[in-house]
Amino acid sequence: MLRTPVLRVCLTLAVSALAVLALAPLRASAADVAGVTADSITIGMFGPISGSYSAHRVVYDGAQAVYKQVNDQGGLFGRKIKVVFEDDGCDIGRARAAVKKLISRDKVFLLHGGVCSASAYAVRQEAIDEGVPFMVMAATMDKITEPVNHFVFTTTLTGSKSGQTIGDFIRSMPEVKKVAIVKHPDDWSEVQVTSLDARLADAGIKVASTVEEERNAADATTQVLSIKEAAPDATAVILYPAEMAVFLRDSLKYGLKGPFITPVVGMDMHEIEDRAGSLKAVSDVYTGSFLIGAPGSKQAQPYVDLFKKYYPDESVQALDFYGMSGAYAIVEALRRAGPDLSREKFIAALETLKDFNAGPSACTITITPENHQGCESGTIWTLVGNDIVAIGPTWKAVKGGATN
C-alpha cells in the first residue's frame, strides 16, 4: 500500500529535477558570460581623454550615441548596453593597465576602443589571451588586425588601405607625373607610404622626393624647400594633423604649390586650417576619408542629428563619427547572436556581416573568418570655399577655394 505514494513522490521529484536541468543552461548562459546579465551587456572602452590627444574623446561620444539610441529603443533582447570607460592617455603602459582593469575587474563582454595605433597594438594580446572580442575604434595600424586573429576586428580604414586610397586618387589626377612625399619616420607613415608607392609605380608615376618630418616639429622650412626644389606635380603629406598643419603653413609661406594629398587623419580640415592659421593653406588639400560625408553635408546629417540628440552642447566634427561604424557593426552582431549570448556567438555573428551599411562609413562592412578588416576602401574630401565636400575616390574638378 505504501509503494504507490512513494512512487508518485519519486516521479514528481524526478520531473522537477529534469525541469531544473532544462532551465539551467539558459540561466547559466547569462550568469557565466562575463559582462552579460539578464538586463545588461557591458562594453569596455579605452582611449585618450587626457594629455595631448584629449581632443579625440569625441570619437567615443559618437559610438556611445549609437549605444544610447539602442537603449532608448528598448535595448537588445531586454538588455541595455552599459559602457565602462578607461583613460589611456595614448600611452602604451596606461593602455595595458586600462584594458587589464576592464577585463579583470569590470568583467566586460567586449572591448571597443583604441585611437592611437601603438596603444591599440600593445593591448591586442591581452584581449587575445583572455578571449575577449576587441573591435578597434579608430587606430589604423594594419598589424593590429593583420594577420587575422579570432578575437580582433576593425571597421576603420587601415593604414595600407588609406595609402592605397590616396595613391589611386593621385593616379586619377590629370597631368600628375611626379610626386613628392613628406612623412614621419615611424611605422604609421611607412605602411601608408609603402602602399602609396606601389600604386604610383603601377601607374608609372615617379616619386621625385621623399623627406621626413619629426613628430612635434614646429617648423617645416627644410622639408618645404627641399620638395619645392624637386618641383613635383603633387605632394603626399603623410603626417599627423599638428605636423601636417605646420607643413601646410610653411608651404604657403615659401610658395610650395599643391595639390596636397593627405591620409584620413586630415579629415578634420577646419582643425588643420585653424592650426595652420589660414584657410588658404588648406585650399588645395585633398584628404582621404572613411566617412561618407563631412558634418554639414546631406549624407552626414542623420548622424549629426543622432550625435546632437545625446550631446547637444558639443560642436560637431568629423572625429565624432570615427567610432560609429564599429558601434553599428557591434549592435548588428549582438542582434544576430540572439538572446542566449556568448562571445563565440557574437564573433560568429560578426563574421556574417557582408556589405553591411555601417552608418556614416564610406564603405560597407564585410567581415569573414579570413578577414577582420571590415573596411577596404575610402573616399576623398576637399574644401569648396569654406565647405568640406566629398568628391569620391577619383579626381573631380571642383569650383571654389580659399580667398584669404
Whether residues 98 and 196 fall in one domain: no
The enclosing domain of 221 has a CATH number of 3.40.50.2300
Domain interval for residue 109: 40-157+299-373
pLDDT the model gives residue 398: 77
Closest CA to 270 of 284, 286, 282: 282
| Shared-domain flag, residues 146 and 177 | no
Rg, Å, the chain Cα set: 25
- What are the pLDDT digits (tens) for 257-280? 999 999 998 988 998 999 999 999
What is the CA angle 226-229-235, rounded to 5?
70
The C-alpha atoms of residue 347 and residue 372 are separated, in whole angstroms, by 10
User: Are 120 and 252 in a shared domain?
Assistant: no
575610402: which residue's cell?
A: 378
CA distance 161 to 155: 12
Q: Which of 55-59, 333-337, 374-378 has the highest mean pLDDT?
A: 333-337
Residues 330, 213 share a domain: no
Is residue 318 very low, low, confident or very high in pLDDT (cuts 50, 70, 90)?
confident
Residue 346 located in a structural domain:
yes
170 and 282 share one domain: yes
The pLDDT assigned to 52 comes to: 61
Q: Judge if 71 and 196 occupy the same domain.
A: no
Examine the domain organization and report whether 74 and 46 are in the same domain. Answer: yes
The pLDDT assigned to 17 comes to: 42
Mean pLDDT confidence for 299-326: 93
Give the number of domains in the chain: 2
In a domain, 3, yes or no: no
- 245 and 385 housed in the same domain: yes
Mean pLDDT of 208-223: 96
> Are residues 310 and 232 located together in one domain of the fold?
no
Q: How deeply is 329 buried, as exposed, middle or buried, from its count of CB atoms within 10 A (0-12, 13-18, 19+)?
A: buried
**pLDDT higher for 367 or 57?**
367
pLDDT at 158 over 70: yes
User: Which residue bears the cell 567615443?
Assistant: 60
* Other residues' Cβ atoms within 10 Å of the Cβ of residue 28: 10
277 and 336 share a domain? Answer: no
Neighbouring-strand partners of residue 110: 43
Are 213 and 85 in the same domain? no
At residue 397, the pLDDT reads 77
Alpha carbon distance 55, 76 (integer Å): 31
Report the alpha-carbon distance of residue 398 to residue 376 in Å, rounded: 26
pLDDT at 135: 98
Residue 399 lies in a domain: no
